[in-house]
Amino acid sequence: MGSFLHTRERGYAVKDIAKKLGLLYFGSVNHQNDDHDVIRGLTVSTSHKDKHYAVGSYDGYDIALVDRYDSNVVGRTKDKHNWAILQVDLHVSTILPHIFILPHDRVQRFHHLFVGLRHLQIIHELTQQQYPAEFTQRYNMYAAGHQASEVEQSVTSEVAMGIAARFWPHAIEIKDSKLFVYLTEHRLSQTVLGGSIEAALWLAEALDKEED
Q: Which of 176, 170, 174, 175 is nearest to 198 (CA)?
A: 170
Q: What is the pLDDT of residue 74?
A: 61
Least confident piece of the model among 29-33, 107-111, 147-151: 29-33
| Distance, CA of 205 to CA of 210 (rounded, Å) | 9
Largest CA distance in the chain: 52
Query: Residue ranges of the domains in the chain?
Result: 2-73+82-211
| Distance, CA of 103 to CA of 119 (rounded, Å) | 19
Report whether pLDDT(70) > 90.
Answer: no
128-147 pLDDT, tens digit each: 889 999 999 999 999 999 99
Report whether pLDDT(180) > 80.
Answer: yes
Q: At 15, is the secondary structure helix, strand, or coil?
A: helix
| Distance, CA of 5 to CA of 157 (rounded, Å) | 42
Q: Which of 137, 133, 134, 129 is nearest to 155 (CA)?
A: 129
82-109 pLDDT, tens digit each: 888 999 999 988 889 999 999 987 766 6
